[in-house]
Amino acid sequence: MMDCSDRHNRYFLRLFSPHILLYTEMVTSAAIVRGDRDRLLGFNDEEHPVGVQLGGSNPQQLYQAAQICAEYGYDEINLNCGCPSDRVQSGSFGACLMADPGLVSECVSALRSASALPVTVKHRTGIDQQEDYETFREFAAIQIEAGVDALIVHARNAWLQGLSPKQNRDIPPLKYDWVYRLKTDFPNTEIIINGAIKTLDAALEHLQQVDGVMLGREPYQNPFVLEKVDELIFGQCVSTTPTRLSVLRQTYPYIETQLQQGIPLSRMIRHIIGLYRGEPGARQWRRYLSEFGNKKTGDMETLYQAEKLII
């Protein structure tokens, strides 16, 4: 979710529910230890609960990064062992770490010792053409032994060569049954499933087998998929469900404040452009925001004019 789940997107998605757990983009431990921490880790209190996703393979450096993240007030530390991009591989983290479960367990132990926050690992069912459930199970077992609080499984392999990150989200076959089986093998460990889950009805089906569901690209591309998440997933009695327009207008005070702080409108509207996906006027809405919202002169009037296209 690089360039997607930044603080502006998380603020926007939080408007749909106080209960969903949101995650940051992957941030490398090296960048946190050596870089601009406020830029990398700063977030709004309204985003809680929010977990920080770390990329790294140096236990000592991850320990330092986790301490810093805890000081910033995050609710969870997540270690990414699922990203297959070449750039991530060159840094020796992401999905390639699945080839070294012992190192991952050292990282988990380091993260656990850094703070009292829950530590989770996001990973795949395997790498390349691995078709051995026992290898996948062994990776999970080693992390559970190290004390991981939950495993978030993207239910398909990551092919480290020959596929782009986008292709890696579509081409390797889904293995939902492997994730269900993992939950059966480790009933006392929280198992969360991820991968090509596009509706809340599909999420409910998965929740018959596992403890949680992670939605990735779908809420980014189609935010209104979360319309009834409190009612259907969290069992909340909701008197009124949000409308697209009510959610849009709730973003206005936030966007106005960000504009006053010098944040360009383009940084925020790219996260809301899918709000009217599939609705009458959606094409004109997207076209208008793409043309005028990305200009340096983009301001609140740009949004007010765009709103007129869909009401």
pLDDT in tens, 88-109: 666 678 899 999 999 999 999 9
CA-CA distance, 253 to 146, in Å (whole number)? 44
Q: What is the pTM of this model?
A: 0.94
Domain final residue pick, 187, 207, 232: 232
Q: Do 201 and 254 belong to one domain? A: no
Q: Do 161 and 254 belong to one domain? A: no
pLDDT digits (tens, 9 = 90+) for 121-141: 999 999 998 899 999 999 999
Each of the 311 residues of the chain gets a pLDDT tens digit; together they read: 777 899 999 999 999 999 999 999 999 999 999 999 999 999 999 999 999 999 999 999 999 999 999 999 999 999 999 988 777 666 678 899 999 999 999 999 999 999 999 999 999 999 998 899 999 999 999 999 999 999 999 999 998 887 787 887 888 899 999 999 999 999 999 999 999 999 999 999 999 999 999 998 899 999 999 999 999 999 988 777 789 999 999 999 999 999 999 999 999 999 999 999 999 999 999 999 999 998 988 999 999 999 999 87
Which residues are 124's β-sheet partners? 154
Domain enclosing residue 174, as ranges: 7-232
pLDDT for res 300: 95
Instruction: Kindly list the distances between the CA atom of residue 74 and the CA atoms of 48, 139, 189, 305, in Å, as whole numbers in the listed order.
Output: 8, 26, 22, 37
CA-CA distance, 1 to 194, in Å (whole number)? 13
Catalytic (active-site) positions: 83
Q: What are the φ/ψ torsions at residue 293 (nearest 5 degrees)? A: -70, -20
Q: Do 24 and 125 belong to one domain? A: yes
- Which CATH number characterizes residue 270's domain? 1.20.120.1460
**168 and 84 in contact (C-beta within 8 Å)?**
yes
Number of independent structural domains in the chain: 2
What single-letter amino acid sits at 174? L
**Beta-strand (E) ranges in the chain?**
22-28, 50-55, 76-81, 119-124, 150-154, 190-194, 212-214
| Radius of gyration of the CA atoms of the chain, in A | 20
Torsion sign, CA atoms 161, 167, 172, 174: positive
Q: How many helices (H) and strands (E) would you count in the chain?
A: 15, 7
Query: Two tokens at 201?
Result: 């009805």
pLDDT for res 248: 95
**124 and 117 in contact (C-beta within 8 Å)?**
no
Q: Do 75 and 179 belong to one domain? A: yes
Query: Two tokens at 114?
Result: 């850094």
Domain final residue pick, 211, 232, 253: 232
Which residues are 154's β-sheet partners? 124, 194
Query: Two tokens at 262?
Result: 């010098």
